Amino acid sequence: MRNNKLLTVGSHLVTLVLVSLSYWLIGAWWVGLLLAAVYLSFHLLQKRATAAWLNAVMLLLCVGFCGYGFFRGGSRLMLMAGAIFALAAWEIGEDAPTDEGRSLSGNAILFERKRLAVLGIALGMGLAVGAVGLTVSVPLPFFALVLSVLIVLYCLYRFFRLFRVRG
Amino acid sequence: MTKKANFILSIISALILTALISHERAFALLAIPFLFLLGAGLLTFSRVGEVYVSRTLTCTRGKEGQVFGMSLTVTNTGTAGINLGLDEGLLPGMELLEGRLKQNVTLPAGCSLVTGYTFSAKRGRYRWNGYHMTRKDLFGFIESSLDVPAVSELIVLPEAERLRNPNIKPQNTLHTPGLNLSHQPGTGTDFWGVREYHSGDSMRWIDWRHSARQPNKIITKEFEREEIADIGILLDARRVTNRVPGMDDLFERSVRATLSLAESFIRSGNRVSLMVLGRTLMRVFPGSGKQQLIRIQEKLAACELSDNPGLDSLRYLPVKLFPSRAMVVLVSPLRSRDAEVIKRMHGNGYQVIVLSPDPLGQLLPEDTTETDALAFRAARLERAVLLWQIRRLGVEVIDWPANEPLQAVLQASSPVQRRLKRIN
């Protein structure tokens, strides 16, 4: 689907912008150029040879760049957001329907829409929880921490069950 | 869980490990979106659900080059919705023209999905036993294979060349009216001779000229009786004779020629049988009419080359498999040891005609070495000698070059010429 391709490219661009900006703020502007060069080479490689592992390698590199940025003291929120967009790009590009010239059935379009919706919600919630975790620091006893995690997990479980296909 | 899920789990583990080693909680927080994604995938996987598939073809018999359509109806008969990965593999010999073979769909309970594709196929018999699907979550982290029975069959018949007057005349006929000259007087259209008029003969055929010269006698014309004949066609499907480098379609030409001849003989009202020398001896017993042609077409559609060591030489072929005194047309590129069985068949009273597609061709490729050119020449000589040996037995041999249509080759020579042709 053409939309999926646009979303993938868009997500990669957002990742590039966020990570480059974060490194630029700490004076390592060359990292942004390096990441752009890596993206360009992978994009050209993908045009010549469709290999499933290319997407995975790009995700690992992005996460690696973000992780290194944490050590260098870059903006954690921006780097986290960059990694999440890289994850979104990986997931959208991984299962994208092939044979773009042939039209999809209604059920296939329904599947794609659900997939993108759940992806958006899962990663959005992940970013929100991550952002809260970065900004708020609450000292909790270990037992309370474990209980909170369990409650959060249960709420998430109930929430995502809503997206099971209904009868 | 799939490789994709394992990949995400590896990233989560690596991030948490890095967080523990470096005491940097940002790594642990970075693992959260990955966890959420994995959790969302696992929770959207539906374990229950029953699926029924029905498969329909636009037609169950067709010819090479024809476009066929396959329609699949997938129905969720369960009480819960289901995410499915549909995957229809093409069978060998098929070529996809339009449509999708793989797609991911969401099927609510009680709903049906109609999908399909068009394809073309080579000669053969195609059979579908089931439909392969994968029950999965939205992201492909968990997959469960699902094979649902959906049976269908397609027979793709070979294309036949319509032969007009193939110039192959059976010598022995059956006492049933047909179109073959029987060398006996009776009802027909070819003039046979004259005889004395008997009571009951038709007045139309009285030869008045002869009668005028014969006082007190009336002379009537006689015509050659036309009858049907028993014709057997023997198709050589041995790999050892048909696999020639650079001529991938040698066997297909033989199959098309067999069908063309069978059609022509059946159209003339003859009783035709077929035997295919392949993995086993495939037979169509003698018969006539449209039904017989359909049986022969179906047998030829399904025949394949085979490596049966027992049939590498025709020496052990039982020659009494055809009706006695039938005309037997052997369609084969021939091997040197095949002359013996032709001799036996001829000795048993069969009228044998050999239609041999030339496996060597006339021209050598441009990059041929001197050794190859000598080998080619030797092979041509060997073939010429073999054909001459067979002709010496009194058997008609039709040497069919690769670049000529069958009709032209059959029309180009008479039965006498085919028996007497010398080595060139």
Residue with tokens 């790999």: B239
Question: A48: buried, middle or exposed (CB in 10 Å: 19+, 13-18, 0-12)?
Answer: exposed
DSSP 3-state of B133: strand
| B319 vs B330 pLDDT, higher one | B330
Beta strand spans in B64-176 (E):
68-76, 82-87, 94-99, 102-107, 112-121, 124-136, 143-157
Residue B357 has pLDDT above 60, yes or no: yes
Nearest to B108 among A59, A129, A167 (CB): A167
DSSP 8-state class, residue B395: -
| pLDDT tens for each residue of B20-39 | 888 888 888 899 899 999 98
Q: How far is A88 from chain B (nearest CA, A)?
A: 10
Size of interface A-B (CB pairs under 8 A): 148
* pLDDT in the model for residue A167: 40
List the structure tokens of B47. Answer: 């374990």
Helix (H) or strand (E) holding B398: strand B396-400
| pLDDT tens for each residue of B259-314 | 999 999 999 889 999 999 887 778 899 999 999 999 999 999 988 888 766 655 56
| Interval B230-238 mean pLDDT | 91
Which of A90, A111, A121, A166 should be substituted to probe chain B, the one whose Cβ sees the most B Cβ atoms within 10 Å? A111
Check CB contact under 8 Å for B24 and A70: yes
The string of DSSP letters for B15-73 reads HHHHHHHHT-HHHHHHHHHHHHHHHHHHHT------EEEEEEES-SEEETT--EEEEEE
Check CB contact under 8 Å for A133 and B99: no
Residue B135 has pLDDT above 60, yes or no: yes
Sheet bearing B94-99, strands edge to edge: B51-57, B68-76, B112-121, B94-99
Q: Spell out which residues of chain A touch residue B141, defining contact as CB-CB under 8 Å.
A: none
- Alpha-carbon gap, residue A1 to A9, rounded angstroms: 13
User: In which band, very low, low, confident or very high, does the pLDDT at B423 lie, cut at 50, 70 and 90?
Assistant: very low
* pLDDT in the model for residue B403: 78
The ipTM of this complex is: 0.85
Residue with tokens 């139309």: B204
Helix (H) or strand (E) holding A76: helix A76-94
- Alpha-carbon gap, residue A65 to A54, rounded angstroms: 17
| A154 vs B61 pLDDT, higher one | B61
Listed range (A140-149, B170-179, B232-241) with the worst mean pLDDT? A140-149
Residue B319 has pLDDT above 70, yes or no: no
Check CB contact under 8 Å for A166 and B30: no
Question: B88: buried, middle or exposed (CB in 10 Å: 19+, 13-18, 0-12)?
Answer: buried
Residue B122 has pLDDT above 60, yes or no: yes
- Alpha-carbon gap, residue B181 to B188, rounded angstroms: 8
Amino acid identity for residue B252 in this structure = E
* pLDDT in the model for residue B294: 93
| Interval B101-119 mean pLDDT | 89
Total residues found in chain B within this entry? 424
- Alpha-carbon gap, residue A40 to A49, rounded angstroms: 14
- Whole-prediction pTM: 0.74
Q: How far is B56 from chain A (nearest CA, A)?
A: 18
Question: How distant, in Å, are the alpha carbons of B71, B117, B240, B304 from that of B237?
Answer: 34, 33, 9, 7
CA triple B34-B39-B40, angle to 5 deg: 100
* pLDDT in the model for residue B316: 66
Q: From first to last of the 167 residues of chain A, give the pLDDT tens digit.
A: 567 888 888 898 899 999 999 998 888 888 888 888 888 888 888 777 666 678 888 899 999 999 889 888 888 899 999 999 999 999 988 765 555 455 667 788 888 888 899 999 999 999 998 888 888 776 667 777 777 777 777 777 777 666 665 54
CA atoms within 13 A on the CB side of B64: 16
Residue B424 has pLDDT above 50, yes or no: no
* pLDDT in the model for residue B69: 94
* pLDDT in the model for residue B152: 93
Cβ atoms of A139 and B135 closer than 8 Å: no
B82 touches chain A (CB under 8 A): yes
A158 touches chain B (CB under 8 A): no
Chain B, nearest residue to A152 by Cα: B36
pLDDT, mean over chain B: 86
| pLDDT tens for each residue of B393-414 | 888 899 998 778 888 888 887 6
Amino acid identity for residue B339 in this structure = A
- Alpha-carbon gap, residue A139 to A122, rounded angstroms: 26
DSSP 3-state of B372: helix
Work out the angle between the directed axes of helices A106-135 and A76-94 (0-180°, nearest 10).
Answer: 160
B139 touches chain A (CB under 8 A): yes
Dihedrals phi, psi of B46, to nearest 5 degrees: -100, 120
List the structure tokens of B387. Answer: 């054909």
DSSP 3-state of A38: helix
Residue B130 has pLDDT above 80, yes or no: yes
* pLDDT in the model for residue B142: 87
* pLDDT in the model for residue A5: 81
- Alpha-carbon gap, residue B22 to B33, rounded angstroms: 20
- Alpha-carbon gap, residue B309 to B313, rounded angstroms: 8
User: In which band, very low, low, confident or very high, does the pLDDT at B68 lie, cut at 50, 70 and 90?
Assistant: very high
Q: Spell out which residues of chain B touch residue A71, defining contact as CB-CB under 8 Å.
A: 22, 24
Measured over the CA atoms of residue B8, residue B80, residue A158 and residue A142, the dihedral's sign is: negative
- Alpha-carbon gap, residue B89 to A162, rounded angstroms: 34
Question: B126: buried, middle or exposed (CB in 10 Å: 19+, 13-18, 0-12)?
Answer: buried
* pLDDT in the model for residue B156: 94
